[in-house]
Chain A
């Protein structure tokens, strides 16, 4: 038996076991619908009745946030937007904000990217151009405006470092060494670098070590960042994994319609989240 380092990646049997690693109240960073959300784990979080989560959208959120908010798992969201894309507004997010049921810390995309980049470098902030004159600045006392110390009379905004408790996303592959292949979705690497722990569901776990393959390695997140992995086939569904399965547009449209009312959303949860299913393959 190999002597594994203390921070070696742990392998979990399924999405529910991964969801059990996410404590109530955690600051949970997640990607948008186009960038590999861990939907099977999100459904498991709802089944385990997670509470008081703080979501961080990197840099925006979609279905995963709408489901968690509708199911009462969320206290606060920091994001640049929550939307279902072509399927329209995120109905549970919209209603929860309009009723004052959750706190929204509105941001703009590159401020979130910059805050995570600061955290991954271990520095306290990252400067960013633009943003000045937006009402966002007044809402965010944690964003500071300073005079550019390298120039003169040149105001510039600083994004504070953001270090999520947990980064959660899906991937096409993990390997036995605990590495995860993200391909071009490098924002997922940035979240993992910045987060205190990273949990990943994946389509399959490969034998061997992807870092020893020159073609795969540039798309790999090294196991040093990966806290836990679980296999979850079709784990991004109803979102897609490129070259594996496409976005299930019909399902998203049906969700957007059903979730317009609390009753419709409750029926959706009963059918697609709370009832154990053998497979999330579309009929």
Chain B
């Protein structure tokens, strides 16, 4: 199996969560989710991946509203969102925290409702990010009965662990902890309460087959849209490509 980068592990985890989707859309500044989708396609999965900020060959031709129109019709199965803060009810905050301003809500207040599943992804796993209650709700994790909401959170992936979302309990459940981290650390660094099985497995590391794919065709595809990311994760290889 050999060594792998943290980004490679996270891409493999996300690929597993995307699973049997038919159409995944990947938004701005999401190189790891984009890598996960590229990996699924490299494995031969018939997955439509719409990279919204692909520098050439963007998948749409009716302007930037087309993504939202597609999603509103139910044509997007999986989307990715992050947050300056994420809380235990899966609310996300992209606007402001602790006196600091962040870029803004982007399309989250719509996509979190409309995409059939949303995978929350934030590499930093700390009490600063995973808070008891977000300071500002860019998009709510759940909606009361009677509010149109075909979609919602599926899971939360961080640099230390994977949580699933339990819609009926409105709580996260810890599913696995990444190699090199442990349950005590995850508890110490998570600001919200979550359900936890009696034994928590380690996140499955990338296989050698996955690593080969990641460092081959996946890397070349990702470098075209996320050149800085590719240079950072695969410094020798991307320079040679």
A residues in contact (CB < 8 Å) with B:
32, 34-35, 58-60, 79-83, 85-86, 89-90, 93-94, 97-98, 104, 106-111, 113, 117, 128-136, 153-156, 184-190, 240, 242, 246-247, 249, 253
- Are A154 and B146 CB-contacts (below 8 A) given A85-B28, A128-B110, A186-B63? yes
Task: Please determine whether A86 and B228 come into contact, CB atoms closer than 8 angstroms.
Answer: yes
B55 within 8 A of A: yes
| 5 A-B pairs with C-beta separation under 8 A | A81-B105, A83-B103, A129-B114, A134-B105, A187-B65
Residues from chain B with Cβ under 8 Å of A129 in the complex: 72, 110, 113-114, 148
Which single residue of chain A is at the shortest CB-CB distance from B142?
A133
Residues from chain A with Cβ under 8 Å of B226 in the complex: 86
Residues from chain A with Cβ under 8 Å of B138 in the complex: 108, 134-136
From DSSP, what is the main secondary structure of chain B's interface residues?
loop
Task: Please determine whether B55 and A240 come into contact, CB atoms closer than 8 angstroms.
Answer: yes
- Are A113 and B136 CB-contacts (below 8 A) given A60-B106, A132-B143? no
B56, B61, B104: the one contacting A80 at CB < 8 Å is B104
B64, B100, B106: the one contacting A35 at CB < 8 Å is B64
- Are A187 and B63 CB-contacts (below 8 A) given A83-B103, A155-B146? yes
- The distance in angstroms between the C-alpha atoms of A79 and B72, with both chains bound, is 21
Per-position 1/0 for B88-125, Cβ under 8 A of A = 00000011000111111111111111100000000000
- The distance in angstroms between the C-alpha atoms of A93 and B100, with both chains bound, is 11
Residues from chain A with Cβ under 8 Å of B36 in the complex: none
- The distance in angstroms between the C-alpha atoms of A93 and B53, with both chains bound, is 22
A97 smallest CB distance to B (angstroms): 4
Residues of B in contact with A, size category: 35 or more
Residues from chain B with Cβ under 8 Å of A110 in the complex: 65, 68, 72, 107, 110
Q: Which 8 A-B pairs have the closest CB atoms?
A: A81-B104, A186-B63, A130-B113, A187-B63, A133-B140, A113-B65, A109-B107, A110-B68
A90, A97, A135, A253: the one contacting B136 at CB < 8 Å is A135
- Are A106 and B105 CB-contacts (below 8 A) given A59-B64, A113-B65, A154-B146? yes
B227 within 8 A of A: yes
Residues from chain B with Cβ under 8 Å of A187 in the complex: 63-65
B residues in contact (CB < 8 Å) with A:
28-29, 53, 55-56, 58, 60-66, 68, 72, 94-95, 99-114, 136-140, 143-144, 146-149, 226-229
Residues from chain B with Cβ under 8 Å of A153 in the complex: 146
Residues from chain A with Cβ under 8 Å of B106 in the complex: 59-60, 80-81, 108-109
B107 smallest CB distance to A (angstroms): 4
Which single residue of chain B is at the shortest CB-CB distance from A83?
B103
B62, B103, B146: the one contacting A90 at CB < 8 Å is B103
Residues from chain B with Cβ under 8 Å of A186 in the complex: 61-63, 66
Task: Please determine whether B55 and A130 come into contact, CB atoms closer than 8 angstroms.
Answer: no
- The distance in angstroms between the C-alpha atoms of A32 and B144, with both chains bound, is 34
- The distance in angstroms between the C-alpha atoms of A111 and B99, with both chains bound, is 26
Known contacts A80-B105, A86-B227, A108-B105; 11 further A-B pairs (Cβ under 8 A):
A32-B64, A34-B53, A82-B103, A86-B228, A107-B105, A111-B109, A113-B65, A130-B148, A134-B109, A184-B61, A186-B62
